[in-house]
Amino acid sequence: MTLDQYRDTADKLLAPFVSAADTAGLSPNGVSVIAFAFAVAAGVAFGIADPLWYGLGAVFVFLNGWLDLVDGALAREQGVSSKAGDMLDHVLDRYADIVVLVGLAAGIDSFALGLAAVTGVLMTSYLGTQIQAVGLGRAYGGLVGRADRLALIGITGLVAAVYTGTIAGFTVVGWLLVVFAIIGHFTALQRFWGAWSDLT
């Protein structure tokens, strides 16, 4: 399972949004910053932990994910792809991951669970770029990629907006963090093992 394998399909759907961003005079870096702003808004909304705000947080997360695709496509359209832009995009993505997960953890008052989820997510992303750094190409594989995480967060936010009960002691948000904590570290190790096998 990883939605990253459908990037080519997503790129085809991006055309009108890329055109609109270009017409509006936006730069790829500008779109990246706007995407990050939506992530911050999502983190705040999830931290409030009210049903209405969970719903809004879900919308903000979906917008963050969509704009994260638009910025790269816009860079290619404008012919301004650069290492600096790629670095900015990756840095903002990592901060976006942190702020959203911290917001989710704050909303259910479970910072230990949030820490486990954040480290799992960050290690997954780190392994993806570190594998590229050693010459094997950018790694998007594994059980759960960033696109999958954003989809799961958005869906969970929508569920939390209508269901506030618990299941085996955890809310749906709590269970999401449990899943990210376990699968995040598993995916990181999965990527590490694949790269290690290729290198040795």
Query: According to the model, what pLDDT value does residue 134 have?
Result: 86
- Tens digits of per-residue pLDDT, 140-163? 666 777 888 999 999 999 999 999
- Tens digits of per-residue pLDDT, 94-106? 999 999 999 999 9
Query: According to the model, what pLDDT value does residue 151 have?
Result: 94
Q: pTM of the full predicted structure? A: 0.88
Contact partners, residue 165, CB within 8 Å, separation at least 6: 171
Altogether, the residues listed in the chain come to a count of: 200
Q: Looking at the domain that runs over 2-197, which CATH code has it been given?
A: 1.20.120.1760
Domain spans of the chain, in order of start = 2-197
> How far is residue 43's CA from residue 101's CA, in Å, rounded to a whole number?
7
Amino acid (one-letter) located at 172: V
List, run by run, the mean pLDDT of 10-residue segments along the chain (200 residues). 61 81 88 96 97 98 93 86 88 96 97 95 88 79 80 97 93 97 91 88
Kindly provide the residue ranges of all beta strands, DSSP E only, lying in 20-178, ordered along the sequence: none
Compute how many other C-beta atoms are within 10 angstroms of the C-beta atom of residue 165: 6
> How far is residue 47's CA from residue 56's CA, in Å, rounded to a whole number?
12
> How far is residue 116's CA from residue 105's CA, in Å, rounded to a whole number?
10
Query: According to the model, what pLDDT value does residue 115 have?
Result: 96
